[in-house]
Structure 1
Amino acid sequence: MIQFLLNRELRTEHALDPNVTVLNYLREHVGKTGTKEGCASGDCGACTVVVGELIGERVRYRTLNSCLTFVSSLHGKQLITVEDLKHEGKLHSVQQAMVDCHGSQCGFCTPGFIMSLFALQKNQAASGASGYDKGATLEALAGNLCRCTGYRPIIDAAEQACCQKQPDQFDAFESDTVAQLKAITPRETAELNSGDKRCLVPLTVADLADLYTANPEARLLAGGTDLALEVTQFHRELPVMIYVGHIEDMKRIEVTDSAIEIGAAAALSDCYAALSHEYPDFGELLHRFASLQIRNQGTLGGNIGNASPIGDAPPLLIALGAQIALRQGNNRRILPLQEYFLDYKVTARQEAEFIEKIIVPRKQANQAFRAYKVSKRLDDDISAVCAAFSLTLVDGVVSEARIAFGGMAAIPKRASACEAALVGSAWYPGVIERACEALSEDFTPLSDFRASKEYRLLTAQNLLRKFFLEQQSPEIETRVTAYA
């Protein structure tokens, strides 16, 4: 049994198919058809809903793609749809702003935009900010696509909604909502079982380890932004899932003297502060990681676990020397991330073993780190090439180099020949050119619809040159002149 709030209505589900997405639940089981299906892959944002989750004594609102969210992940939370915004016959202020600014034409994408604006307005108020932040608006709307309006009137609506916010029913009923959410806070392992399919919802790492050992065929569900595609795009059924989103230890982010330890179930949105503070380029890449809806739901552990050769985070983590903590039953082991990936979609993970946390070393003295993502469009796109460079320079000489790429091989991979060409050498253009040549020894990329093999190799070499130019300083330039 799982329980959640549909706005303020308590919903209890005993025998629902756990493969049912929130989108299909709303449209087919509840009759709320305001939420639209545009792509069923998390790209267009037409299906955007808002999920409220209890954080202390307040409700935190986040946008999600309902087409990629299984109903079981709503356990203990609040689901808000576009139908819930109008109150006592009056449009919500974000809806009125869309009307006033002519932000809708055909209207198909409009419910998704409205829900993104609703969450933007709520989060701005919760942060104590006032006025209009265009950067935050563009980030909030980057995952919503519109073919009609050209976005300008929608951005105008965002400005009106944020600058002219009015108290709404969610403010008025917040204390009641908090009480309702407290009443349905999960206190033991839950299960959604339709007979032939089931989803288990443990609350502790130990329970997860036991359940996974007993059900090694189960698919682990965290954000589900990749796993759900098997259902929505490939029309497969997942007989057994284990949802890890209620395991607090696997959502914890802890900064120690030596490392940033990130629980495998921590949402990418939650990883941002710690990673961007230590490594600003990691933060910049996270801003371009899919859309805000995906970042609110997807996890760093999932981005590693799906073993995609074009996942954005693994090259950066490999370049930083990250490790992963793996658990199987009561057994734990620490593995360098670069050793986790063996071949295309093949990893070192053993049966019933799962990623518990990711351990990212903190930045060291003289360490330079940069990351670059090349894709066809800036926002909400998959990499053609993703590069990460971590070098330590001492007196103008490269003492350590870790360089990793995504999109260049069947796995995220270090450029060992390129590193060897750099280590022990002075930091000057001639060495960089030798290192660029070495990249052709490290990689034989494939051609696909994102990029040709020639483009990928040249781009990888040019990114190394770009990194070199960005690391130049008058002091270094004086030293390398002698070597040249």
Structure 2
Amino acid sequence: MRHSIEFLLNGERIAVDDLDPHTTVLQFLRERRGLTGTKEGCAEGDCGACTVAIAELSADQRVDVKPINACIRLLATIDGKALFTVEALSNANSRAPLHPVQAAMVDAHASQCGFCTPGFVMSLFALFKNECSPSRDRVIEAISGNLCRCTGYRPIIEAGIKATTAICFSTERGESKEKLEANSNGNQALAPTNSQVNGESQKIVWLNTPGRSEALESAERAMIEALAALPANASSESLHYRFGGQQFFAPRSIDELSSLVADHPNAWILAGGTDIGLWITKALQHNATLIYTGGVRALRDIRESDAALEIGAAVPLEDAFHAMNRHYPELAQVWTRFASWPIRSSGTLGGNVANGSPIGDSMPALIALGATVSLRHRERVRTIPLEALYLDYKKQSRAGGEWIEKITIPRRIPNVQIGFYKNSKRNEQDISAVCAAISMVIDRGVVQYVRIAYGGMAGVPKRAINAETELTEKAWSETQVRAAMQAMHADFSPMSDMRASAAYRMQVAQNLLLRFWLESQSAPAEVRVI
């Protein structure tokens, strides 16, 4: 059993054994390490001023780089990972003292007051390490969780495109190093040359090289070796961290996790912390026992069979959505509007389902697709339809000591038509007023199968059972659709709040079903907010 938190901070190995387990990454960076480039703007993961990047070993021993919100991510969950802040990117002793992303921001005049700039830089750094030549839309998506009140975003987007395009000499794209170096327009800050690779530290080369380029191979191996040497990766020992009468468990197996949850029924079960982080930073709540699921590799697996897609409870939302998109591409556009990239990189599908927010976007889609959830208590596992998990607002059918092990989504039904709609005031980084998910099979003009689920219409994500009954085995016609729209009054009694009135929510919910019918009457056309 291990008792200290160990990770890499900007390349330096760090061990922590004297901090409250509720300490956030942001608090540690600013108050303990004096790394003040990382800012606090909102303390709830919305503004992006606190964005940093983490690198961790994947199941196939590659280095995965992701942006996270330091203000709500607990430091203890960084055990076994590498953490990078904006301070790591610049190197005064280098031939190119600024990182390519930083240099591009300067060249594009993409910073004014500067408070938000480190967060933008780190989001673009994560994109830089993941993709070669991303599209403009992808750059916008990557910074959708970063807010700026000065620049109007245009120069920031230009910087993102320049930084991730000009220097991307990826062998996977089949482009020659010479060609891509020529595309950098001679900017010596942009492409590491052989002399740089040989003369600078592997860390600097790794930070400054995008994608899977030729220059990255040895530096990537060095990063893998550094991560593999951390105790969390070098051994199978679990972490039991204690401080001030509080404890943080990071088990390594499903059996160990099951025992801990059963033995500590009042503990917080923690994954990415995108909800629990706000309980700590906003509600100022603490719990004497935290149990972290991220160390259980089996819970981070995605398994596909002929019958279903199984997603472990600790799979990050970003990875879960990509897996679902392969089978249900209709959902892809909505997933990009789900929170921001840092939130999707930290938050998990199991955590989102367990939270059960009535305005969560994933649950209506999962319910419409017929998903089930597996609940475990020690060795016993039971599987129920996802909608059966939610009884009322913050009330679930989980028994004491039960926890969510996986979510199972059936494979696509032949000839199924799917619609998923999100209604919110902003296109990005906004909570739904209403979201709707519809799955339907129509044969010779008659509805043979239908599932309709909504968020924002009740205290829990909920199916429109009466509307479904009005449609099942009936002609797929406007008359029948309008009858189903009226039946929704028996399904829902929405509330009024700051996002929408009850009357507005009902009208939108009804109209979204009508929209689905209208879209089914003609050839599919892409509809997106610009």
Pick the TM interval, shorter chain.
over 0.9
**After alignment, is 26-35 or 157-166 more displaced?**
157-166
Count residues with an aligned counterpart.
Answer: 469
Within 5 Å, which residues of 2 pair with 1:35-434? 35-55=38-58, 56-89=60-93, 90-124=97-131, 129=132, 131-165=133-167, 166-167=191-192, 168-170=204-206, 171=216, 173-184=219-230, 185=233, 186-434=235-483
Letter in 1 for 2:512: L
Give, in whole Å, the separation in 1 of the partners of 2:150 and 2:344: 26
Deviation at 1:105, TM superposition (A): 0.4
Superposition TM-score, scaled by structure 1 size? 0.95
Contact 1:231 1:238 in 2 (8 A): no
Deviation at 1:255, TM superposition (A): 1.2
Aligned partner (choices 5, 27, 31) of residue 30 of structure 2: 27
Give, in whole Å, the separation in 1 of the partners of 2:31 and 2:220: 29
Give, in whole Å, the separation in 2 of the partners of 1:343 and 1:273: 30
Contact 1:13 1:192 in 2 (8 A): no
Deviation at 1:422, TM superposition (A): 0.4
| Alignment-derived partner of residue 210 in structure 2 | none
Give, in whole Å, the separation in 1 of the partners of 2:62 and 2:261: 33
| CA deviation string 1:103-140 (max 9, x = no partner) | 0000000000000111111111xxxx3x3521210111
Deviation at 1:156, TM superposition (A): 1.2
| Alignment-derived partner of residue 8 in structure 2 | 5
Give, in whole Å, the separation in 2 of the partners of 1:282 and 1:330: 35
CA RMSD in angstroms comes to 1.3
Give, in whole Å, the separation in 2 of the partners of 1:16 and 1:202: 20
SS of residue matched to 1:4 = strand
SS of residue matched to 2:259 = helix
Deviation at 1:212, TM superposition (A): 1.1
Letter in 1 for 2:164: C
SS of residue matched to 1:68 = coil
| CA deviation string 1:219-253 (max 9, x = no partner) | 01111101110111111112210111111111111
Deviation at 1:392, TM superposition (A): 1.4
Superposition TM-score, scaled by structure 2 size? 0.87
Deviation at 1:273, TM superposition (A): 2.4
Give, in whole Å, the separation in 2 of the partners of 1:210 and 1:234: 29
Letter in 1 for 2:9: L
Give, in whole Å, the separation in 2 of the partners of 1:246 and 1:285: 29
SS of residue matched to 2:71 = helix
SS of residue matched to 1:67 = coil
| CA deviation string 1:357-382 (max 9, x = no partner) | 00111111121111111011001110
| CA deviation string 1:295-315 (max 9, x = no partner) | 001111111101211111111
Give, in whole Å, the separation in 1 of the partners of 2:149 and 2:522: 45
SS of residue matched to 1:294 = helix
What percent of counterpart residues are identical? 47
| Alignment-derived partner of residue 188 in structure 2 | none
SS of residue matched to 2:495 = coil
| CA deviation string 1:174-195 (max 9, x = no partner) | 3322111111115211022113
| CA deviation string 1:20-64 (max 9, x = no partner) | 000001001111111000000110000000000112343211100
| Alignment-derived partner of residue 482 in structure 1 | none
| Alignment-derived partner of residue 477 in structure 1 | none
Contact 1:17 1:192 in 2 (8 A): no
- In structure 2, do the counterparts of structure 1 residues 163 and 367 end up closer, same or farther at CA, with 3 Å as the change threshold? closer
Contact 1:2 1:191 in 2 (8 A): no
**After alignment, is 104-113 or 195-204 more displaced?**
195-204
Contact 1:15 1:192 in 2 (8 A): no
SS of residue matched to 2:413 = coil
SS of residue matched to 2:156 = helix
| Alignment-derived partner of residue 199 in structure 2 | none
Contact 1:267 1:297 in 2 (8 A): yes
SS of residue matched to 2:152 = coil
Deviation at 1:327, TM superposition (A): 0.3
Letter in 1 for 2:135: D
SS of residue matched to 1:301 = helix
1:17 aligns with 2:20: yes
Give, in whole Å, the separation in 1 of the partners of 2:331 and 2:159: 31
Letter in 1 for 2:11: R
| CA deviation string 1:405-428 (max 9, x = no partner) | 110001111111101110111011
Deviation at 1:473, TM superposition (A): 4.4
Give, in whole Å, the separation in 1 of the partners of 2:104 and 2:459: 47
